[in-house]
Amino acid sequence: MADTAEHLQNFIHGEFRRVESDGWMDDLNPSDAGDVIARVPHGSADDARAATTAAAAALPAWRALTGPARGEHLHRWAAAISERAEELAQAMAREVGKPIGESRGEVGRCIVILRYYAGEAVRSVGDVIPAGLPGALQYSLREPLGVVALITPWNFPLAIPLWKAAPALAFGNTVVLKPSELSSRVATLLAETSITAGLPRGVFNVILGTGVDVGTPLIEAPEVRGISFTGSAKVGALVAAIAARRNVRYQTEMGGKNVVIVAADADLDAAAALTAAGAMRYAGQKCTATSRVVVDRKIEGDFLDRLRSQVEALPLGPVADATSAVGPLISQRSHDSISAALADSTADRIFGGELPDDERFRRGFYFAPLVIRIADPAARLAQEELFGPVLGVLSADDMEHAIAIANQTRYGLSASLFTHDLRSALHYVQRIEVGLVRVNGDTTGVDPHAPFGGMKGSSSGSREQGPAAREFYTETKTVQINP
Ligand code: NAD
């Protein structure tokens, strides 16, 4: 039978190029594994080399543009995305199984990100610093790093590439993006919008393939002077080791074991609604998704009753249906690994975990939201990121105990505390070891103009987005001009 699925191409020097690949992977629709969206090449070191060469060639002219001129390009990119917003959202829902409402939200957020960095491109770029020598002018400048490599996961297939590419470009770098092999079609559409926006050739390049075949050669390429990675802790450690050996600036934003604490005085309805949403929407596949809830024993029964109603009220269903809140997992592999972790453990099921007997759910990688009790905070299920709609409930004697349990993990991305006690809230803000701290909120969702990133094993320590992005994508030159 003829192979009718589209064979995706690399985007290098402003044009799509046929890939000569030894092998091709099926890019499957997670809601319906029989739907092959496209074929993705394994990729090669030659592809990485072609892209970094193009980005290096485009660098002198791009960095020589004024900030306002680069900002104009980003405004045009925002407009190009806006024109195809619905198509992009539909493609995202189909390729990564994100419910259509959230997919539309992500496209809207991308437009905001591009406009924000278009504005950042016209800000002042340094400081005047008093000089030790009378009459001398001393100042600092921020200059682009050069060619930067962006390695991204599949779960925010437009927003993460853009929250890296937009600041990189705004501050005068050129970019090679290596998206996840599981979100390569959406990345290809993003490349198309960059053509519509009129970005100069070679400024933004996209190469497809596996991490090993094309990702590693990309970050090893001599032209690459900065690496921004988002993905799992395991791969992040590999990326960091290569970057450190090459003495190239890097940031690695990785997984989490995000936590909600429910204090005895909490608004239990709000806590249950936001914990359910944070844990289960998009099948728990956000890096900031809630995977543990630590509940004060005194209100545990009341809280769990409410949590159950809230979880059961989140519709599990096809992502094209605007009422669905929980779609499928990304892949059979993810389904197998979550099932294996649960089978290996002694955790007790509290409720959930049973898929409705419906043919539609058997066609995709669906996993029904599940809430389990974890008696030991050191247990594997309380420590490892599962990346699915599984929430572990842990009990605490009081606030101090709850914070200690919350911190008892190698990760440190996001946390929330539900309380009305101001003293408790302030104490928790000081003690909690995460980069994103909430009180009376969901652990997920961030404003694109606020710094984003984790502590401990969740991050290499830098931050993305907001003003923090300038720190990463530029380096400082200190200049003194004597009279
Ligand atoms: P992953 O680590 O499997 O892959 C991420 C990217 O790294 C992909 O593009 C992949 O091809 C590439 N890669 C894999 N091996 C590589 C190698 N040897 N060299 C270079 N590149 C390589 O992660 P994933 O499954 O795509 O995404 C899910 C993970 O991402 C979760 O752990 C989640 O928490 C994390 N995540 C973190 C954030 C954050 O901002 N902290 C945001 C979203 C997702």
- Concerning whether 287 is annotated as a catalytic residue, the answer is yes
331 lines ligand 1 (CB under 6 A): no
Position in ligand 1 atom list of the atom nearest CA 454: 41
Residue pair 443/223 in contact (Cβ under 8 Å)? The answer is no
What is the rounded CA–CA span in Å between residue 67 and residue 466?
17
Report in angstroms the alpha-carbon separations of 6 from 38, 39, 185, 192, 207. 5, 6, 9, 15, 16
What angle, rounded to 10 degrees, do the helices at 67-83 and 159-170 form?
A: 160
**Average pLDDT for the chain:** 96
Predicted pLDDT of residue 22: 83
Task: Tell the burial category of 322 from Cβ atoms under 10 Å away from its Cβ (0-12, 13-18, 19+).
Answer: exposed
**Is residue 1 pLDDT above 70, yes or no?**
no
230 lines ligand 1 (CB under 6 A): yes
- Pocket perturbation via mutation, ligand 1, pick of 287, 383, 386, 456 by most ligand atoms within 8 A of CB: 287
- Concerning whether 253 is annotated as a catalytic residue, the answer is yes
125 — pLDDT class (breaks 50, 70, 90): confident
132 — pLDDT class (breaks 50, 70, 90): very high
What is the rounded CA–CA span in Å between residue 147 and residue 125?
19
The string of pLDDT tens digits covering residues 349-396 is 999 999 999 998 999 999 999 999 999 999 999 999 999 999 999 999
* CA 240 / ligand 1 centre spacing (Å): 13
425 lines ligand 1 (CB under 6 A): no
The string of pLDDT tens digits covering residues 263-280 is 999 999 999 999 999 999
Identify which of 202, 207, 244, 249 has the alpha carbon closest to the alpha carbon of residue 225: 249
Q: Which uninterrupted H or E stretch holds 305?
A: helix 300-312
Position in ligand 1 atom list of the atom nearest CA 210: 11
The string of pLDDT tens digits covering residues 106-121 is 999 999 999 999 999 9
Amino acid residing at 466: G
Which residue's CA is the closest to the ligand 1 atom numbered 16?
A: 211
2 — pLDDT class (breaks 50, 70, 90): low
* CA 236 / ligand 1 centre spacing (Å): 7
Catalytic pick among 106, 220, 223, 287: 287
**Is residue 347 pLDDT above 90, yes or no?**
no
Predicted pLDDT of residue 341: 96
328 lines ligand 1 (CB under 6 A): no
88 lines ligand 1 (CB under 6 A): no
CB atoms near residue 478 (< 10 Å): 11
Report in angstroms the alpha-carbon separations of 322 from 44, 315, 325, 449. 39, 10, 8, 28
Predicted pLDDT of residue 82: 98
Predicted pLDDT of residue 208: 98
